[in-house]
Amino acid sequence: MEADVYQRIKYAARTLLNIDLEQYKDAQMRRRLDSWLTRKQIATWDEYIHLVRRDAEERERFRAYLTINVSAFFRDITRWQEFDRKIIRSLHQTACTSLNPTGALRIWSAGCSIGAEIYSLAMLCEQFTPGQSHFLLATDIDRDALAQARAGGPYANTEVQNISKAQRLTYFQKGGPPFYIKHSLAQKIEFREHNLLADPFDSGFDLILCRNVIIYFTDAAKEGLYRKFSQALRPGGILFLGSTEIISRPSDFGMRGIGMSFYEKCE
Ligand SMILES: C[S@@+](CC[C@H](N)C(=O)[O-])C[C@H]1O[C@@H](n2cnc3c(N)ncnc32)[C@H](O)[C@@H]1O
């Protein structure tokens, strides 16, 4: 790709999508961009930028493609605030009164990327149920992302911006940036390679987080996943999706919406 074309793409990404490609590895991003244009079967970048400028849906697809591995602690903080206010309490109450007298929760972060999501969840569990151990599973198809997740970092400033000072002091190693999660927290999570579109699912989960992953999939694949997530949840268990991921008819999959981003498996 010519340098001036790359400049124009970066300008378009910044102005139309609010994504700063300067912060991405140059060679890798150029390769990704090349394969995107080929996949789109569009001859030139100028033509594609023109399309992105006038088509809001295409803009979202391009954004999702560019940010495929991007993650952050407490990403979309308002959703996490709602989770903290309402969902974790009711999950724990039903877990305690169900067949599971220990109150231990089974939680799965599917498409966990670099681990920021499952560590955010683990921090809330520690705060909400101090001393209680839970089963925390985090999976992804991307080995490099998983390796970073397992190592508990490194995490950049931009990735920890929703972390409070108290959380930083309690759950992160001293120093940084870059930041690293304490081993004591990292050890509590089982990280596993797993392809959501091909591998079998475990079951009996109280909570499944699958956020900002399914936006990359076709409608048929999405529906297959909703069905499998529903089967993997215990009755009353919760599916926590990303802010732009909406199941229009959750009853088709044996679930009901309980506020934006949360779906409860029906009894
Ligand atoms: C944008 S990240 C989302 C990370 C995190 N859930 C969040 O919301 O911050 C999307 C992740 O989905 C993973 N992914 C994509 N296709 C997948 C698949 N078929 N099976 C499992 N993970 C997949 C990618 O490797 C990437 O780490």
Which atom of ligand 1 sits closest to the CA of residue 145? 27
Please tell me which residue, 39 or 190, carries the higher pLDDT value: 190
Indicate the domain borders of the chain.
3-66, 77-265
Ligand 1 close to Cβ of residue 111 (< 6 A): yes
Give the distance (Å) from ligand 1 centre to CA of residue 211: 8
| Best CA proximity match to 140, nearest among 217, 64, 192, 187 | 192
- Does the pLDDT of residue 98 top 70, yes or no? no
**Atom 14 of ligand 1: nearest residue by CA position:** 111
- Does the pLDDT of residue 258 top 80, yes or no? yes
Confidence bin at 26 (pLDDT 50/70/90): confident
Average pLDDT over residues 189-204: 94
Three-class SS of 237-263? EEEEECCCCCCCCHHHHCEEECCCCEE
Average pLDDT over residues 13-40: 85
Can you tell me the distance from the alpha carbon of 231 to that of 101, in angstroms, rounded to the nearest whole number?
A: 22
- Ligand 1 mutation pick, 141, 161, 211, max ligand atoms within 8 A of CB: 141
Ligand 1 close to Cβ of residue 141 (< 6 A): yes
Average pLDDT over residues 110-117: 96
- Ligand 1 mutation pick, 140, 143, 155, 244, max ligand atoms within 8 A of CB: 140
Ligand 1 close to Cβ of residue 82 (< 6 A): no
3-class DSSP assignment, residue 206: strand
The answer for residues whose C-beta is within 8 angstroms of residue 131's C-beta and 6 or more apart is none
Please tell me which residue, 163 or 27, carries the higher pLDDT value: 163
* pLDDT recorded at residue 111: 95
* pLDDT recorded at residue 100: 66
CB 37 within 8 A of CB 66: no
Parallel/antiparallel/unpaired status of strands 205-210 and 189-193: unpaired
Which atom of ligand 1 sits closest to the CA of residue 75? 9
Ligand 1 close to Cβ of residue 208 (< 6 A): no
Confidence bin at 246 (pLDDT 50/70/90): very high
> Tell me: the pLDDT tens digits for 156-172?
998 999 999 999 999 99
Class of domain 77-265: alpha beta
Q: Any idea what DSSP says for residue 76?
A: S
